[in-house]
Amino acid sequence: MKTISILGATGSIGQNTLKIIADNQDKFNVYALSAHHNYDKILEQARNFQPKYVVIATKALADKLQHALKSEGLETIVLFGAKALIEIARADEVDIVMAAIVGMAGLESSYAAVCAGKKVLLANKESLVAAGNIFMKAVKENGATLLPVDSEHNAIFQCLTDNQYHAKEVDKVILTASGGPFRNKALSDLESITPDEACNHPNWKMGRKISVDSSTMVNKALEVIEAYWLFNVSVDKLEVLIHPQSIVHSMVKYCDGSYIAQLGSPDMKTPIGYSLFFPERQAVNVTPLDLCATSLTFEKADFIRFRALEMVFSLLGEKDYVKSIIFNAANEVLVEAFLAEKIQYLQIIAYIEQTLAELHFSSAKTIEDVIEIDQKTRDFIKQRFLLDDVMYT
């Protein structure tokens, strides 16, 4: 029996994690669940899984939830705020932490889990993008086990065996990308794209922020940085291929010409299940892949069209890791603004690029430095592009 905390339980990854746990109640004990503002969903999850703790954003929501749970005879204790997220991530009783909060808001809790030496299932790619070197150092120093949940990185993890990690035998680490919903649209047709159109991904059902990121290719850009840190791979060995079917989740090319790839239906329950049960494999409820019903095609990623890729390959080439904090923070604010209909679709990328050109900081040595740079970038963007405060729902 393993004891687990799920950070971001009400999101797309969190809900898929709980589906697998519901089918394996003899193997997992749910210690804590967290939500931001989704009261109804976390109430339902608390009823179904009866965790020791639940964390929600505000005191008002926590009081209301505590009252509701108590009146149903449940003993779950409701906490609130960012500090409580850290507590449920590093509690002694916890073996496994699913880090599935979206955005920089997930950094401190996933970092706390790593520092406490937990088995950390990392969906929150933004942690690694903003704080990769500090994060990976903490993994090593604290004996944590870091398992990537992102489908591409989970695939690469499956294609690399332990002793090949740093080996010269690895020629390329190839991330696949669906190309998103606008792959075949002319750039000039993208001006009037609405939030709902951007969130309508052809192959994957995901939260709204990552769906917009997939459409702009920022998601793949974040994933390039994520792979760079996770697999300690130099930037010249990283490649992105457009693969519209999302069947080959990523691959590794070896120096003898062998490609090792991981294939499967586009369903996050596969990488989530793989990381939950690691180092074993167990059945999860996914639609089996019908190889005869699909063709597999690949195209080079166009760096002129997909500016975000150009930006991250360039910052990694220069080892200018502060720029990845700026890139990530800028994107988060601008995607929020786009979802709130305060800026147009193409302004997301244009403003990120402008911010990278105009904003400079010296290097970040601690998590506190990363958080400060992230905050200063957000402040800069709001002023520079005249954005009011917007908030995730």
Nearer to Mg ion by Cβ, of 150 and 336: the residue is 150
Nearer to ligand NAD by Cβ, of 122 and 256: the residue is 122
Nearer to ligand NAD by Cβ, of 152 and 321: the residue is 152
Q: Which residue is nearest to ligand NAD (CB)?
A: 11
Q: Supply the minimum distance, in Å, between the C-beta of residue 254 and Mg ion.
A: 23
For the chain, the three-class secondary structure string (H helix, E strand, C coil) is CEEEEEECCCCHHHHHHHHHHHCCCCCEEEEEEECCCCHHHHHHHHHHHCCCEEEECCHHHHHHHHHHHHHCCCCCEEEECHHHHHHHHHCCCCCEEEECCCCHHHHHHHHHHHHCCCEEEECCHHHHHHHHHHHHHHHHHCCCEEEECCHHHHHHHHHCCHHHCCCCCEEEEEEEECCCCCCCCCHHHHCCCCHHHHCCCCCCCCCHHHHHHHHHCHHHHHHHHHHHHHCCCCHHHEEEEECCCCCEEEEEEECCCCEEEEECCCCCHHHHHHHHHCCCCCCCCCCCCCHHHCCCCCEECCCCCCHHHHHHHHHHHCCCHHHHHHHHHHHHHHHHHHHCCCCCHHHHHHHHHHHHHHCCCCCCCCHHHHHHHHHHHHHHHHHHCCCCCCCCC
43 binds, among ligand NAD, Mg ion, none (CB under 5 to 8 A by kind): none
262-291 residues in contact with ligand NAD (CB under 6 A) are 268
Q: Supply the minimum distance, in Å, between the C-beta of residue 126 and ligand NAD.
A: 6
278 binds, among Mg ion, ligand NAD, none (CB under 5 to 8 A by kind): none
# residues near ligand NAD by CB under 6 A: 26
Q: Supply the minimum distance, in Å, between the C-beta of residue 335 and ligand NAD.
A: 11
Helix axes 12-22, 39-49, angle to 10 degrees: 20
Nearer to ligand NAD by Cβ, of 9 and 251: the residue is 9
Q: How far apart, in whole angstroms, are the C-alpha atoms of residue 244 and residue 227? A: 20
Q: Does 267 bind Mg ion (CB under 5 A)?
A: no
Answer for which of 36, 52, 220, 323 binds ligand NAD (CB under 6 A) is 36
Q: Which range binds Mg ion by CB under 5 A, 142-150, 255-263, 317-325, 355-363?
A: 142-150
Distances from the Cα of 255 to the Cα of 51, 177, 220, 258, angstroms: 48, 23, 24, 7
104-143 residues in contact with ligand NAD (CB under 6 A) are 105, 123-126
Q: Which positions from 46 to 85 touch ligand NAD by CB under 6 A, shown as an x/- string?
A: ----------------------------------------
Q: Supply the minimum distance, in Å, between the C-beta of residue 152 and Mg ion.
A: 5
Q: Does 35 bind ligand NAD (CB under 6 A)?
A: yes
Q: Which range binds ligand NAD by CB under 6 A, 30-38, 189-197, 332-340, 373-381?
A: 30-38
Q: Does 150 bind Mg ion (CB under 5 A)?
A: yes
Q: Which positions from 159 to 198 touch ligand NAD by CB under 6 A, shown as an x/- string?
A: ----------------------------------------
Q: Supply the minimum distance, in Å, between the C-beta of residue 70 and Mg ion.
A: 39
194-223 residues in contact with ligand NAD (CB under 6 A) are 204, 206-207, 209-210
Half-sphere exposure of 199 (CA within 13 A, CB side): 12
210 binds, among Mg ion, ligand NAD, none (CB under 5 to 8 A by kind): ligand NAD
12 binds, among Mg ion, ligand NAD, none (CB under 5 to 8 A by kind): ligand NAD
User: What does residue 268 show for φ and ψ, rounded to 5 degrees?
Assistant: -65, -10
Point out which residues bind ligand NAD (CB under 6 A). 8-14, 35-36, 38, 100-102, 105, 123-126, 150, 204, 206-207, 209-210, 268, 392
